[in-house]
Amino acid sequence: MMTENSPVLEVFGGVDTHSLTHHAAVVDTLGRELDDQEFPATPAGYEALQAWLVGFGQLVRVGVEGTGSYGAGLMRVLTGTGIVVVEVDRPDRTARRSLGKSDPLDAYAAARAAASGRATGTPKSRDGIVESIRCLRLAQRSAIKARTQCINQIRALLVNGPADLREHLAQLPTAKMIKSLTRLRPTTDLTDPHVACKLALRSLARRYASLDEEIKQLHRGLCDLTRQVAPQLLERPGIGVQVTAQLLITAGDNPGRLGSEASFAHLAGVAPVPASSGKRQHRHRLNRGGDRSANNALYTVALVRMRYHEPTRAYVERRTAEGLSKKDIIRCLKRA
């Protein structure tokens, strides 16, 4: 630790985050280890960790793993006091095989990544409307998956269920089928498989109806929030509420952390990856990195525009005549 008569020393911090504890480490400008210590992952622990870090000298910046999960609370405390926080990726497997794996080693690796400049990513602030959008979309996607599972279970039960019920419901649309099933009045003799089947179908149908209403309510909330944040994005062809919500979530509440549109392309996994070799020149392949949800959102926009947007359809025809495959054209559209 720095004493009263010590010269001011530039130091860099690193934090390996976990659900219950955070392990912090400090290095100097040359990457030499100064000290490491473990703190509880609580508000009091965050404050103690911050005070411990600044006690070594002039804290230039801190590399934190998992600022979007376990490290989110610590990141807010550090940035709230004016400390520069950068996002640090986990050490690659090759380094871990050669150097080993422990909390102090990971914390020192994060500190050295911050000191060397290898880690430069600015974390999402997660303190605005976009964070609200993320929460609502998370709940909505979960409800949609549960609703899909619910209807699949209903159809599976109907296959081996009472014949009269199956014949009556087979031709009905989903909405009418659910409405009919919610009105079933099975008897109390659950030893009869037909009675038990009807009770199960009614239970699943009521669950489906509840989930359907929940999804609609969450969608209304997403519509209101996305209109407040990015009304101009919703006006662009092929971009709806769900796509807008996902692109906003990927950019975060502080999109200024992205230096250019190329930065966002890398973040969304749509930046071209060179794949030329030998006689095959000027070729690119699919980028499998980045945020795959954002990549999927841009893929949806590309497909919609290829079908309904005349300028895009003309572009597809021109590029097809030049010899590009459909996959290559979609890749170009996602980047554009």
In a domain, 4, yes or no: no
In a domain, 175, yes or no: yes
The two tokens of residue 199 are 């009770």
* Domain stop point among 186, 215, 231: 231
Give the orientation angle of helix 326-335 with respect to helix 292-308, to 10 degrees. 110
Region at 66 (left for phi over 0; alpha for psi -120 to 50; beta for the rest): left
Of the chain, the percentage scoring pLDDT greater than 90 comes to: 65
User: pLDDT digit string (tens) for 101-159?
Assistant: 788 999 999 999 999 988 888 888 888 999 999 999 999 999 999 999 999 999 999 98
User: pLDDT digit string (tens) for 57-75?
Assistant: 999 999 999 898 899 999 9
In a domain, 216, yes or no: yes
In a domain, 34, yes or no: yes
The two tokens of residue 49 are 């960790």
CA distance linking residue 217 with residue 191, whole number of Å: 39
13 phi, psi to nearest 5 deg: -105, 160
Domain limits at 309? Answer: 258-335
The two tokens of residue 296 are 């999927």
* Domain stop point among 212, 231, 250: 231
* Count of domains forming the chain: 3
- 112 and 178 fall within a common domain: no
Burial 53-67 (b: 16+ CB within 10 A, else e): bbebbebebbbbbbb
**Quick one: CA dihedral 193, 198, 199, 201, positive or negative?**
positive
| The predicted structure's pLDDT at residue 214 | 97
